[in-house]
């Protein structure tokens, strides 16, 4: 029935559809329908030679491969698994022309650390990209450009501290974004811009301590948001209002400060109908250990009676300045944004940390009452800054106070009513002239009477 010479293993492979006549790398298994090369777990230190040119699926996981170079794989590849290797370098042109590739798994290559910006250029069909546990320190701008069909992006368990603005702007169909287990410490206004169909965003187990009020402005379809186990002391309720489809929210294991800055979050939680975790307060002392969701509004301290005051839309907040100073020198090379406090005001973002004024800058200093630590409140506005992004012509701008950028409003002194002489040193000569004229007129009148 079968050709003589087949052993038990060969017979089984034939029954399973494998083609033993095709060339295949040593120690690998190759078969058709679809054309597949399976070389996992063979301690390869390099991509094996002899991979058939028409291979559609290539499995090289669990080896010790160190470098990926152009020519290692065929542009006909649709699925490429390279996870759990020792890859530390990927030649930028390795995947150029791979317009059929749908899944690329580079996860668990802990020595990768850096990827060139054009590594994934042209992968228009890619729907899943795995870059988890790769030791990535940063992601260059444009690294995901053109990946319009990507649906799953795995970036968890790396060493990412900062995400460039508009990094994900081309990912029009991304539904799952995994960023947990990194070292992120802020979410800026345009961090997630363009992710209009994102369904799940996992940001837990980072170091996030500040979220811009507009950070989620494009995430209209987000249903799941994980921010637990971070360093958040506050979160604006206005930022969560931008998530109308949200169903699952986890905010536990953050050092929440349940003072007046927590009022908007408390109010949003009261209206939210989805599933949320607990939010345990660490301060003030009278609320420490309580869940913010169970605290009564009258128990929350009033900003008007504390150190924080809002006067005419201006910040009068000594603690904010102290908070800024603590983070002024933290990763300056990324120009981190400042960390605003409170929900009563809205500040432009992104913006660099305040710095001493230099030439070409205007220093607007509001004098008068000093902050708690004796510092004047200084706002440095740089000329030439780019305009902040306002989606839908400001549709989502929930702030009531808008200021013109790069303008220092001059102090205008209040003048007297029209027709009232200003009391100053120049009034003396005018008064003397008037008195002289009056005296002269009176003397002339007397002389004329006598002569009659």
Other C-beta atoms lying within 10 Å of the C-beta of residue 297: 9
Res. 98: pLDDT tops 80:
yes
Sign (positive or negative) of CA dihedral 211, 212, 213, 219: negative
Q: Write the CB contacts of 312 (distance below 8 Å, at least 6 apart in sequence).
A: none
Q: Is residue 35 very low, low, confident or very high in pLDDT (cuts 50, 70, 90)? A: very high
- Dump strand ranges (E) for 194-305: 200-202, 210-211, 224-226, 248-250, 256-257, 275-276, 281-283
Tokens of 81: 């698994």
Of the listed ranges 78-82, 125-129, 244-248, 399-403, the least confidently predicted one is 399-403
DSSP state, residue 285: G
Of 408, 409, 411, 434, the closest CA to residue 421 belongs to 434
Q: Give the phi and the psi of residue 320 in degrees, each rounded to 5.
A: -60, -45
Which pLDDT does position 451 carry in this prediction? 60
Bridge partner list, 249: 225, 276
In this predicted model, what pLDDT tens digit does every residue of 257-268 receive, in sequence order? 999 999 999 999
SS3 312: coil
Q: Is residue 392 very low, low, confident or very high in pLDDT (cuts 50, 70, 90)? A: very low
CA distance 10 to 21: 12
Which pLDDT does position 421 carry in this prediction? 34
Q: What angle do CA 96, 100, 157 make, to 5 degrees?
A: 70
In this predicted model, what pLDDT tens digit does every residue of 341-390 receive, in sequence order? 333 333 333 333 333 334 333 333 333 333 333 333 223 323 333 333 33
SS3 351: coil
CA distance 354 to 326: 12
pTM for this model (two decimals): 0.66
Give yes or no for a contact between 148 and 125, defined as CB atoms under 8 angstroms apart.
no
In this predicted model, what pLDDT tens digit does every residue of 134-163 receive, in sequence order? 999 999 999 999 999 999 999 999 999 999
57, 196, 364 from 452: Cα distances, Å = 130, 102, 72
DSSP state, residue 11: H
Q: Write the CB contacts of 317 (distance below 8 Å, at least 6 apart in sequence).
A: 307, 308, 309, 341, 342, 371, 377
Strand order in the sheet with 57-59: 29-31, 36-38, 57-59, 79-81, 103-105, 128-130, 152-154, 176-178, 200-202, 224-226, 248-250, 275-276
Res. 417: pLDDT tops 60:
no
Q: Give the phi and the psi of residue 318 in degrees, each rounded to 5.
A: -65, -35
Tokens of 408: 């220092």
433: enclosing H helix or E strand: helix 427-451
Give yes or no for a contact between 233 and 210, defined as CB atoms under 8 angstroms apart.
no
Q: Is residue 303 very low, low, confident or very high in pLDDT (cuts 50, 70, 90)? A: confident
Q: Are strands 200-202 and 224-226 parallel, antiparallel or unpaired?
A: parallel
SS3 104: strand
Which pLDDT does position 37 carry in this prediction? 96
Res. 296: pLDDT tops 70:
yes
Res. 289: pLDDT tops 50:
yes
Of the listed ranges 44-48, 337-341, 445-449, the least confidently predicted one is 337-341
SS3 364: strand
Q: Kindly report whether the peptide bond that precedes residue 79 is cis, defined as omega within 30 degrees of 0.
A: no
Residue that is written with structure tokens 């992006």 in the block:
153
Q: Are strands 128-130 and 152-154 parallel, antiparallel or unpaired?
A: parallel
Of the listed ranges 126-130, 229-233, 431-435, the least confidently predicted one is 431-435
Which pLDDT does position 23 carry in this prediction? 83
Of 300, 301, 321, 317, the closest CA to residue 309 belongs to 317
Sign (positive or negative) of CA dihedral 11, 15, 16, 19: positive
DSSP state, residue 299: G
SS3 320: helix
Mean pLDDT for the chain overall: 75
């Amino acid at each position: 029935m079968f050709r003589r010479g087949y052993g038990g293993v060969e017979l089984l492979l034939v029954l399973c559809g494998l083609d033993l006549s095709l060339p295949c790398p040593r120690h690998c298994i190759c078969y058709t329908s679809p054309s597949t090369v399976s070389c996992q777990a063979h301690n390869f230190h390099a991509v094996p030679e002899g991979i058939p040119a028409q291979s559609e699926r290539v499995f090289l996981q669990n080896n010790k491969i160190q470098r990926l170079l152009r020519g290692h794989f065929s542009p006909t590849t649709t699925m490429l698994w390279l996870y759990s290797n020792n890859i530390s370098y990927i030649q930028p042109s390795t995947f150029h022309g791979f317009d059929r590739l749908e899944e690329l798994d580079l996860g668990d290559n802990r020595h990768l650390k850096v990827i060139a910006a054009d590594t994934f250029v042209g992968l228009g069909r890619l729907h899943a990209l795995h870059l988890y546990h790769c030791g990535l320190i940063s992601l260059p701008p444009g690294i995901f450009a053109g990946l319009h069909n990507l649906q799953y992006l795995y970036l968890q368990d790396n060493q990412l501290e900062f995400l460039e603005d508009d990094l994900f702007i081309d990912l029009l169909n991304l539904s799952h974004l995994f960023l947990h287990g990194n070292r992120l410490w802020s979410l800026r206004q345009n961090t997630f811009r363009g992710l209009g169909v994102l369904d799940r965003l996992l940001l837990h187990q980072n170091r996030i301590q500040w979220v811009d009020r507009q950070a989620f402005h494009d995430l209209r379809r987000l249903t799941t948001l994980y921010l637990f186990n971070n360093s958040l002391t506050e979160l604006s309720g206005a930022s969560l209002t931008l998530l109308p489809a949200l169903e699952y929210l986890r905010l536990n294991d953050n050092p929440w400060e349940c003072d007046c800055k927590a009022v908007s979050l408390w109010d949003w939680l009261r209206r939210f109908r989805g599933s949320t975790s607990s939010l345990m307060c660490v301060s003030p002392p009278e609320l420490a250990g309580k869940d913010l969701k169970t605290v009564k509004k009258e128990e929350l301290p009033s900003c008007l009676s504390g150190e924080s005051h809002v006067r005419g839309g201006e910040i009068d907040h000594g603690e904010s300045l102290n908070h800024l100073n603590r983070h002024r020198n933290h990763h300056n090379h990324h120009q981190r944004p400042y960390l605003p406090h409170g929900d009563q005001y809205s500040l432009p973002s992104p913006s660099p940390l305040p710095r001493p004024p230099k030439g070409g800058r205007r220093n607007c200093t509001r004098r008068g009452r000093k902050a708690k630590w004796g510092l004047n409140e200084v706002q440095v506005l740089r000329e030439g800054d780019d305009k902040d992004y306002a989606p839908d012509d400001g549709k989502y701008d929930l702030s009531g106070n808008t200021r013109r950028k790069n303008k220092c409003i001059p102090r205008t002194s209040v003048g007297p009513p029209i027709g009232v002489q200003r009391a100053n040193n120049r009034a003396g000569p005018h008064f003397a002239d008037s008195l002289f004229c009056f005296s002269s007129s009176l003397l002339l009148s007397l002389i004329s009477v006598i002569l009659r």
